[in-house]
Amino acid sequence: MASIDFPEPLLDLERAAWAEIQAGGLTLDTARAVQTAVTAFAAEGGHDRYTVEMGLKKAIRHPAAAG
């Protein structure tokens, strides 16, 4: 998987979602915000949305493996 340079606001959104998931309370608003931002970032950068989403999750949830 190619390395993608994620902007800090997108990383912050995924961090917030991951914190909510770990606490057992992911909200629809947070999930929607992440998906909207991922979709926009992928479209703007000409990336596959799935690749962006998986890379973002890996960067936040498994930072040692991401880079």
Could you list the pLDDT tens digit for every one of the 67 residues in the chain?
458 999 999 999 999 999 999 999 999 999 999 999 999 999 999 999 999 999 999 999 998 865 5
Cα–Cα separations (whole angstroms), residue 34 to 9, 38, 55: 10, 6, 13
**Alpha helical stretches, state H, the chain:** 8-23, 28-45, 49-61, 63-66
